[in-house]
Structure 1
Amino acid sequence: MKRSVIYSFGLPFSFLLAGCAPGHDTAAALSPNIPVAHIETGLVAGQWPENEWWKTFHDAQLNSLIARALADAPDMQIARQRMALAEAQAKMAIAADSPQIDFSADAERQKMSAEGLMGPFALTDPAAGTTGPWYTNGTLGLTAGWDLDLWGKNRAQVAARIGKVNAQKAEMEQTRQLLASSVARLYWDWQTQTAMEKGVNAIKREQQNIIAADRELYQQGITSSVEGVETDINARKSDERLAEIQGKKRAIEARLAALTRTPVVTLSPQPLPAVNTTLPASLGYELLARRPDLQAAHWYIEASMSEVEAAKAAFYPDVNLMAFLQQDALHLSDLFRSSAQQMGVTAGLTLPIFDSGRLNARLDIAQAQSNLSVANYNKAVVEAVNQVTRTASEVETLRVKNQHQQQVEADAARVVALARARFNAGMLAGSRVSEAKIPALQEHIAGVRLQGQYIDATLQLTSALGGGYHNG
């Protein structure tokens, strides 16, 4: 008797230990080149700081453009829907890991076969309690089920879904930053072109002064008409530059209208920001914590590792608890009697023994996807470091060039001041003052172009750092 009891209890556990589908070694897991902790400084999982860096320009016109782009741009709509889908999938995974209770009710009208297994019920026999052959069977009640998840498969799937939600949040922030950066770059390019247009118009006015003076001298017979040809040519070139600048401005306005989904974009000129930004002494990995693409890649790694754990747990048996509390009767008139009540509890066990390699294939797929996520992360880190290094170098170079250009403009201004002083003293004709102003205005336009290039480079560096220079 004791031996039979031992066998009856030991046999199921033997199946548990030896009956699982055989597994095999998978490919070695890749490791991130840069530890994930190095790019997580100052961040809270699943949240993102408000990186509204464009507000540091204190330009209401720019703020309005970016606000419209972030609210209505199709890219943002797509990003929001992707995040909503990921959140819904995570809720589904969480629900699947919890107990479930259902209510069901059904009624069935049937005729019993006198020749079948239920043959006695086809007869009308008061002594036997049968009233056949027709019956209206009814059932109603509650059923409950719960997958105990002893090996953590469901929990791993929940963790994977949550990781994907966090990745989608980071990707939405990436879209937000790219849109804001695109609008800001176009906006300051328009302002740069406007400032250059103002400088070219100033040059054209001085050229008109020279042309008028040359025409007066020619009419008085002092000079020949050939002497003013070069000034006429330069004036035509100024017209060409103005046409080119105006064409660029129209193209920028069209692109801003597309990004902000506005029929017509009307901008007013604003002064360009000063060149006075100081970069951090060291652009280390901790500054990359603000990059949404690296955060997304990190969360995809976390999700893929959970998928691997879920695939491994699938080799072990599933244990389910099921229970029911119902009313069941052959006749609806008897359905609500206490004697029609039935209840029960069932413990179910599902043990994979032979599956033709399906579980191993799923594990291989999960491991390969995890390795791919790590490889993508490693690539993203290398590209991020290269981008930051390249743009930071460009910003520093343009900062130095702007300093030198400011000195050149100061020297050109002294030449103009000297010419004006000689004109005031009656030593120089007014047209000569205009001739002295033109090189100074050309240097000013060159300075505006350099200033615009510097602003654009700082915006690119801001984007490369994910939203700002400051860590935290």
Structure 2
Amino acid sequence: MSNARLAEASAVELEISTDVATLYYGIQTTYHLIDLLNESGEVATFAVQAHEAYAARGLEALTLPEEAQARQLAIERQIVSAQGQIKQLRESMRALLGAGSDDLPAIEPVALPRSHAALPATLAYELLARRPDLQAMRWYVEASFDRIDAAKAAFYPSFDIKAFFGFNALHLADLFTHASQQINLIPGLYLPIFDGGRLNSNLSGAREGSNLLIEQYNQAVLNAVRDVAQTGSRLQTFDAETELQKRRIESVAFARDSVEAHYRRGLASRLAALEARQPVIAEQIALLTLRGQMLGQEITLTKTLGGGYRADPPVEPKPR
């Protein structure tokens, strides 16, 4: 039971650390959003001034300065909203850490980390053995076996969780359908699946309790497989979307560079050159949104795998 309690404490630490990481990178992503919005705002401010000057000389209709100002005000509203979002995220982090109003240090803007959305060749089921919440439940199940002196019926499936990408619902039978005959375990850790059916004869109150623990544990394992599969699938989707978005930025930037080249040769106005930057900034904001979502999914994958994954050499399970 002491092992189960230690595992439960580790599960709480993992939950808090990943929640803090999510909030932190939410703040950092919003800082970068504000930078892009400020860049867009500078263009909008110049556009307002230029259209007002044109209108004052009778070269443009009076509606154009008003339209430019409306765009400027919309950007300013987005900046105010983003600044408020940073305050809310920071307050959420402070509350999560139990820090006082003045105890949380300032969070300065930093560069976003490069995404590692590319998944390993396999996401082995054995990786879930690092999840402290599942290990805690396993200890409780095994403790219940000790109390009732029942024969354990444990299975050690081995399969690639990627096989379940796109599955909306899973059943235990699915795990064994995809299980490998070669069973490899992470050194010092294992995550069996228990068969409560072998404990069903002549049920006593203790045996009923053990079977309930088995059912809860097996369902938790099944949910963990599903969560890893869904998170990995979403990461693959974000990775593909990011590559497409980068190509889109390159295409839009080509048009911007063309207008700026015309401006340098005196064939286009400064206003036209600056306004050609706005579509690029808009696409950069879209890319930033994707990067923020991808970071969130990477943190989620770390959490669903119990803190990460490493390529440890497999060992054979020993009979108990």
TM-score range, shorter chain: 0.7 to 0.9
Structure 2, unaligned runs of 5 or more:
151-202, 313-320
Question: Is contact 2:231-2:301 (8 Å) kept?
Answer: yes
- Unpaired runs of 5+ residues, structure 1, are 1-163, 311-362
8 Å CA contact 1:408, 1:443 repeated in 2: yes
Alignment of 1:289-438 (within 5 A): 289-309=129-149, 364-438=204-278
- Specify which structure has the higher proportion of strand: 1
C-alpha deviations, 1:244-268, integer Å up to 9, x for none? 2112111101011112233244210
**Which letter does structure 2 place at the counterpart of 1:430?**
R
| Mean Cα deviation higher: 168-177 or 253-262 | 253-262
> What SS class does the counterpart of residue 267 from structure 1 fall into?
coil
Alpha-carbon distance, 1:278 to partner: 2.1
Aligned to 1:238: 75
Deviation at 1:236, TM superposition (A): 1.5
User: What's 1:170 paired with?
Assistant: 7
The amino acid across from 1:229 in the alignment is: E
Aligned residues: CA RMSD: 1.5
Query: Structure 2: which amino acid aligns with 1:426?
Result: G
Contact 1:289 1:471 in 2 (8 A): no
- The answer for the alignment partner of 1:18 in structure 2 is none
**Helix, strand or coil for the counterpart of 1:293?**
helix
Is 1:253 the counterpart of 2:93? The answer is: no
Alpha-carbon distance in 1 for matches of 2:112, 2:286: 14
Partner residue, 1:285: 125
Aligned residue for 2:198? Answer: none
Question: Residue 243 of structure 1 aligns to which amino acid in structure 2?
Answer: V
3-state DSSP of counterpart to 2:276? helix
| Residue from 36, 60, 66 that aligns with 1:199 | 36
1:189 aligns with 2:29: no
What amino acid sits opposite 2:259 in the alignment? A
Displacement after TM superposition at 1:471 (Å)? 4.6
CA distance in 2, matches of 1:180, 1:276: 19
The code of the aligned residue for 1:390 comes to: Q
- Of the three residues 59, 63, 76, the one matched with 1:226 is 63
Q: Could you say which residue in structure 1 is the equivalent of 2:308?
A: 468
Report if aligned partners of 2:55, 2:65 keep a CA contact under 8 Å in 1. Answer: no
Conserved? CA contact 1:297–1:377, under 8 Å: yes
Give the TM-score of the pair, scaled to structure 1: 0.53
Aligned mate of 1:208, from 34, 45, 52 = 45
Taking the aligned partners of 1:305 and 1:459, their CA distance within structure 2 comes to 35
Give the paired residue count: 257
| Rg comparison, structure with higher value | 1
Distance 2:47 2:31 in 1: 25
Which string of whole-angstrom CA distances, capped at 9 and with x for unpartnered residues, describes residues 122-154 of structure 1? xxxxxxxxxxxxxxxxxxxxxxxxxxxxxxxxx
Q: What is the letter of the counterpart of residue 31 of structure 2?
A: T
Q: What's the % identity of the aligned pairs?
A: 30
Matches within 5 A, 1:3-42: none
Q: Which residue of 1 aligns with 2:292?
A: 452
Mapped contact 1:395–1:454 kept (Cα < 8 A): yes
Deviation of 1:419 after TM superposition, in Å, equals 1.3
Show CA shifts across 1:155-194 (max 9, x none). xxxxxxxxx1111111111111111100000000000011
Change (3 A) 1:176 1:471: farther
CA contact (8 A) 2:117 2:236 kept: no
Question: How far did residue 452 of structure 1 move?
Answer: 0.5
Could you give the per-residue CA deviations for residues 399-445 of structure 1, whole angstroms, max 9, x where no partner exists?
A: 11111111111222222211111110000000101210011001111
- Deviation string, structure 1 residues 351-392 (Cα, Å, up to 9, x no partner): xxxxxxxxxxxx822212211111111110110011001111
8 Å CA contact 2:14, 2:303 repeated in 1: yes
Contact 1:402 1:447 in 2 (8 A): yes
Contact 1:275–1:402 (CA<8 Å) still a contact in 2? no
Contact preservation (8 Å) 1:170, 1:295: yes
> What amino acid sits opposite 1:173 in the alignment?
S
* TM-score between the two structures when normalised by the length of structure 2: 0.77
Which structure is higher in helix share?
A: 2
Alpha-carbon distance between aligned partners in 2 of 1:386 and 1:220, rounded to the nearest angstrom: 66
